């Protein structure tokens, strides 16, 4: 049998899966629902476009549920995506969907609403639906693990946080040793690089795709504080320190590249929200970076550009998606070619 280790995100995709925002209750207001639809549509059109070197964009497969969602998605997306009917609660495919090993196999983990915080009908079953639609073999894991809690390099190394993976609201009694064994057996991930905490007020309990990402073998990106008012300053410094001390599955010290954080971003009630430029998606032709109208956006995108030769690297608005709890990476899942 071939390796279970999933390819890195920058490897060629057969498809990128996402879902269309449909439930105003999940988005709190009509403004956020319609704003999220605009932002998701912008992401999809960017992913589908050809790259600057002429390479083909992604085949984007968009889950829709119900007549209104299908009609609004068709009007917004045209021929940029393929619409697929399936039941789902909300659009966070990174967490509720499967993790694809290759073109033939995928694993579904258990999902409990990020530790019981948000329970929507359909979220527990949509992973199986995606596997069936994709026509791949399904492997089932009994453990609660979300895709956004993991970021891997395709060579057996994975980044994660203790705050999330060891949280008793997922798998009571989980230890580092047990988690490492599960990740090896389920996904062929041999080397776990443990980070501590994620961003302040992240309801996912510290998903790693908001704080640290592989961009090449042995190369990771994380954030630095935007300014003296950045609420995550201490956490961002701890993340960078831990990464600089880590070795990957091949024994390499990691090269750590830092981009600015968006800084202090708040919601309508003045509460700090976990805005992050790290929640980018690496498509076949385009890297889509979430931006929030902060001074950090241009610098973050400019630092990322040379890391992805042959791909366009663009910042797109994601403030409304953030109101639901995440970014572009959170709402997608890649299927390897």
Enclosing H/E stretch for 157 = strand 157-161
Comparing CA positions, the residue from 39, 94, 128 lying closest to residue 334 is 94
* Rounded-to-integer distance, Cα 281 and Cα 329, Å: 5
Residue 27 has a pLDDT of 87
Active-site residue identified among 330, 331, 332, 334 = 330
* Rounded-to-integer distance, Cα 70 and Cα 201, Å: 33
Taking only the tens place, the pLDDT of each residue in 302-312 is 999 999 999 99
Helices (H), 80-203: 93-96, 113-116, 126-134, 162-165, 176-187
24 with 33: CB under 8 angstroms?
A: yes
Residue 129 to residues 18, 52, 141, Cα–Cα distance (Å): 13, 34, 16
Residue 125 has a pLDDT of 96
- Counting Cα atoms < 13 Å in the Cβ hemisphere of 162 gives 9
Residue 329 has a pLDDT of 98
Burial annotation 18-38 (CB, 10 A radius, 16+ → b, else e): bbbbbbeebbeeeebbebbbe
Catalytic residue list contains 222: no
Taking only the tens place, the pLDDT of each residue in 136-167 is 999 999 999 999 999 999 999 999 999 999 99
Taking only the tens place, the pLDDT of each residue in 122-143 is 999 999 999 999 999 999 999 9
Digitized pLDDT (tens) for each residue of the chain, 337 residues in all: 457 899 999 999 999 999 999 988 888 889 999 999 999 999 999 999 999 999 999 999 999 999 999 999 999 999 999 999 999 999 999 999 999 999 999 999 999 999 999 999 999 999 999 999 999 999 999 999 999 999 999 999 999 999 999 999 999 999 999 999 999 999 999 999 999 999 999 999 999 999 999 999 999 999 999 999 999 999 999 999 999 999 999 999 999 999 999 999 999 999 999 999 999 999 999 999 999 999 999 999 999 999 999 999 999 999 999 999 899 999 999 999 9
Structural domains of the chain in order of their starting residue, each with its CATH number = 13-336 (3.75.10.10)
Residue 1 has a pLDDT of 41
Enclosing H/E stretch for 258 = strand 255-260
Residue 2 has a pLDDT of 56
């Amino acid at each position: 049998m071939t390796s279970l280790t999933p390819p890195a995100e920058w490897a060629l995709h057969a498809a990128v899966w996402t879902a269309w925002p449909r439930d105003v209750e999940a988005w709190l207001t009509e403004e956020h629902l319609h704003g999220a639809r605009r932002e998701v549509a912008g992401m999809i059109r960017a992913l589908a476009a050809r790259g600057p070197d002429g390479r083909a964009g992604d085949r984007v497969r968009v889950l829709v549920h119900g007549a209104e969602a299908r009609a609004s998605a068709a009007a917004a997306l045209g021929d940029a995506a393929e619409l697929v009917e399936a039941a789902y609660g909300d659009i966070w495919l990174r967490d509720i969907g499967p993790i694809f090993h290759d073109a033939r196999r995928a694993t579904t983990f258990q999902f409990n609403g990020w530790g019981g915080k948000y329970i929507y009908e359909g979220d527990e079953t949509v992973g199986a639906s995606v596997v069936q639609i994709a026509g791949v073999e399904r492997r089932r894991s009994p453990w609660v693990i979300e895709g956004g809690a993991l970021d891997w390099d395709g060579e057996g190394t994975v980044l994660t946080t203790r705050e999330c993976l060891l949280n008793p609201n997922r798998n009571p009694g989980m230890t580092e040793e047990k988690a490492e064994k599960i990740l090896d057996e389920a996904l062929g991930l041999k080397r776990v690089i443990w980070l501590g905490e994620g961003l302040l007020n992240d309801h996912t309990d510290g998903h790693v795709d908001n704080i640290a990402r592989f961009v090449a073998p042995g190369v990771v990106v994380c954030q630095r504080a935007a300014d003296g008012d950045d609420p995550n300053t201490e956490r961002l410094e701890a993340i960078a320190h831990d990464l600089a001390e880590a070795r990957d599955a091949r024994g390499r010290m990691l090269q750590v590249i830092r981009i600015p954080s968006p800084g202090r971003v708040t919601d309508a009630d003045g509460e700090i929200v976990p805005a992050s430029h790290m929640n980018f998606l690496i498509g076949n032709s385009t890297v889509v970076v979430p931006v929030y109208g902060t001074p950090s956006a241009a610098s973050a995108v400019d630092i990322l550009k040379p890391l992805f030769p042959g791909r366009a690297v663009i910042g797109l608005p994601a403030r409304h998606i953030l109101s639901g709890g995440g970014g572009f990476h959170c709402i997608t899942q890649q299927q390897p070619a």
